[in-house]
A and B are shown apart, each in its own frame.
Chain A
Amino acid sequence: MMLMSDLLRMSFHNLLLHKVRSILTSLGVIFGVGSVIAMLAISEGAKRSALAQIESMGIDKILLFSKQPSRIGVSEGSTNASVVESYGLTTRDLTHIGKMDNVSSITGLFNSRKKVLKGLQRTDLQLVGCDFGFLENSPAKIESGRWFSKTDFTKENMVCVIGKNVKRTLFPIGSTNIVGGTVRVEDYVFRVVGILDNPYNSQYQGIGGQNDMILIPMPTARACFKSYTFTKEARMFQITKIDYDVLLVQVNDTTYIDNTAKRIAGYLNNVHGQTKDWDIVVPLELLKQQEQTQNIFTIVMGSIAGISLIVGGIGIMNIMLASVFERRKEIGTRRALGAQKADILMQFLIETVFLTTMGGVLGIALGVGIAKIITYYSAMPTVYAWWSVVLSLVISCVVGIIFGTYPAWQAAQQNPITVLRSE
């Protein structure tokens, strides 16, 4: 068989000869690869943002939430006028879990359930008591001002650190003296010492996003509200006693996070007995599940886009078959001059593979363009994984081999006699 370098040069030369036709022929592959790349970029983007959301809770953490138990059979009070309901995670739980193996620290959040008003309007903001170690356990950064001091805790100072959404909601745009200003909730007035920015706006079940929180020191919260919260629902006045709404458990080694979570669950089962007034979430577990779901999503999206690649391949096969017929005289002459069947086969096969690979390269550019446009207009994040680019190139090459083989074989089977006779 002829030298590979000659074979490649010859095939390339042939494609350059028909530039427009070559591009039209590979359009199918261009769009096929383009849609595969775009689809993968979109689903990869969706995956990253979903995972980032989960990761923002902390993959080295176990989250415990207090949950209102279902009311069936629970009625401590005699009348419906007022019911004192006590449930959820207690200070005892916190101390006990804090001493477990593999637990490096534990901090709690307590939601006062006070209505935070702006003028007369109710807002989504929450007044939340937190432990001193909370900042370390959250991905938030101090935007301006400072975090609480130890004295704020020991002296039960009336100070608060606000999330950045709180700043936007409660203070007029352009306010300069927010730190040092005050926030008023019901009859309580807190001095703002710092502003927090949580880039993920980590959500905590029962409390909401961290950027919507007005954080106050836990001792201050206890001093103001004890552990009681008062809510008025319809005509029922309800008193709830709750120590902690959320416990953030930081583990030393994420390898054993499952084990630790099981032990915590076992302990809570023992202590809280039948009433299921708590919930446990392991973000790492969620992350793994989410990753699986997203992978399936990616595969499905990719396969649908892949169908267009097959269509593109069939288009190329068609045109190559026509090209074989059109170039019978060339084939016959080459055979007469000494080309073997393998030479002819390889020439046509490599031409097809060139076409599809070129289509692949253009398709990648197109796909990246589509993804960029989508991101630009819909704010949907798109991420190009390097493997999707490599995969597309490999696939377009394979498409060329699959759909080029038959036309190339046809070319090699052309009988030089009939071909040379047909003038």
Chain B
Amino acid sequence: MDNIVELKQIFKTYITGELQVPVLKGIDAEVERGEFVGFIGSSGSGKSTLLNILGMLDVPTSGEYRLENIEVSRLSDYEQSEIRNRKIGFIFQSFNLFPHLTIEQNIEVPMIYARVSARKRRQRALELARQVGLGHRLGHRPTQLSGGECQRVAIARALSNNPAFILADEPTGNLDEKTSDEIMKLFHRLNDDDGVTIVMVTHNPSLGPHYDKIIRLRDGRIDPTPFEWERIPS
């Protein structure tokens, strides 16, 4: 068994003044290499908090988070930054591209922090842009692209350091249905052809059929009842 992500009894409690708000109440989950996993939950289910913990932007109050068999939740800021840089490929709902940089420069950003030489960065950026179908737009700026194209750039950027998995936060939330489909197809292609492990966090149950494995969050816990495809009208 080759687990990329292992969560064991993850608890997260926010303390505001004297008030303790438990958000995550013992999450156990695993993501295997090459899997396409969806964390689905409505707002208030603890989905965002879990996303932050998975992305190492936040640390759990208790519990274990093993990334490629390394316990990462107690590492220093420096080490966590390194792991975020090399092991996790972030994709955001609002793309979060740098508007003043070209597509090529945007794709290069994580490689800059990985101290990759300028020549190798260019090479890799071109390769990735072609992979997501934007090889001809390297010199453009994000403002000149459509939403779907922006998200493709973000995907290329997430892949630049060959991360252990892609962590996508509601990646189709800002896109129309048709573009959504295209992006989801791209994810599938990456997952099927290149074996990229993808963890997607969403509130949108209609994306359910895309995933190899669905983990449903409800009120800070994992809902063990199986996902019912049939109920969703298509």
Contact = CB atoms under 8 A, between A and B. Distances in A.
Interface of A: 2-3, 5-6, 10, 13-14, 17, 329-330, 333-343, 416-417, 420-421, 423
A6 to B, nearest CB: 5
Contact of B109 (A14, A337, A416): A337
Nearest to B81: A340
A359 B94 CA distance: 37
A338 B57 contact: no
Interface in B78-117: 78, 81-82, 84-86, 90, 92, 94, 96, 98, 100, 109-110, 112-115
A338 B82 contact: yes
Contacts of A6: 112, 118
Nearest to B48: A421
B72 to A, nearest CB: 14
Contacts of B216: none
A21 to B, nearest CB: 13
A13 B102 CA distance: 12
A137 B157 CA distance: 82
A338 B96 contact: no
B96 A329 contact: yes
Contacts of A10: 112
Contacts of A3: 112, 115
B52 A338 contact: no
B55 interface: yes
Given A2-B115, A336-B96, 15 more contacts: A6-B118, A13-B100, A333-B96, A333-B98, A334-B113, A336-B57, A336-B84, A337-B113, A337-B157, A338-B82, A338-B161, A339-B81, A416-B57, A420-B92, A421-B48
Contacts of A423: 94
Given A340-B78, A417-B58, A421-B48, A334 B109 contact: yes
A14 B114 CA distance: 20
B104 to A, nearest CB: 14
Nearest to B94: A423
B77 interface: yes
Contacts of B96: 329, 333, 336, 420
B132 to A, nearest CB: 17
Nearest to A334: B109
A336 B55 contact: yes
A421 B112 CA distance: 24
A14 B100 CA distance: 9
B88 to A, nearest CB: 8
Which of A5, A330, A417 has the largest number of chain B CB atoms within 10 A?
Answer: A417
A159 B85 CA distance: 96
Contacts of A336: 55, 57, 84, 90, 92, 96
Nearest to A416: B57
B113 A339 contact: yes
Q: How large is the interface on B (under 10, 10 to 19, 20 to 34, 35 or more residues)?
A: 20 to 34
Contacts of A420: 57, 92, 96
21 contacts: A2-B115, A6-B112, A6-B118, A10-B112, A14-B100, A333-B92, A334-B109, A335-B81, A336-B57, A336-B96, A337-B109, A338-B81, A338-B84, A338-B85, A339-B85, A339-B113, A340-B82, A343-B81, A417-B58, A420-B92, A423-B94
A336 B78 CA distance: 13
Contacts of A421: 48
Nearest to B97: A333
A423 B118 CA distance: 32
A14 B85 CA distance: 22
Contacts of B85: 337-339
Nearest to B105: A13
B119 to A, nearest CB: 12
A338 B114 contact: yes
A337 B115 contact: no
Nearest to A343: B113
Nearest to B116: A3
A338 B77 contact: no
Which of A336, A416, A417, A423 has the largest number of chain B CB atoms within 10 A?
Answer: A336
Which 7 residue pairs are nearest across A and B when measured between Cβ atoms? Answer: A338-B85, A340-B81, A338-B113, A333-B96, A337-B110, A336-B90, A338-B84
A340 B109 contact: no
Contact of B98 (A5, A330, A338, A341): A330
Nearest to B84: A338
A341 B113 CA distance: 11
A349 B84 CA distance: 23
A193 B210 CA distance: 114
A337 B58 contact: no
Contacts of B84: 335-338
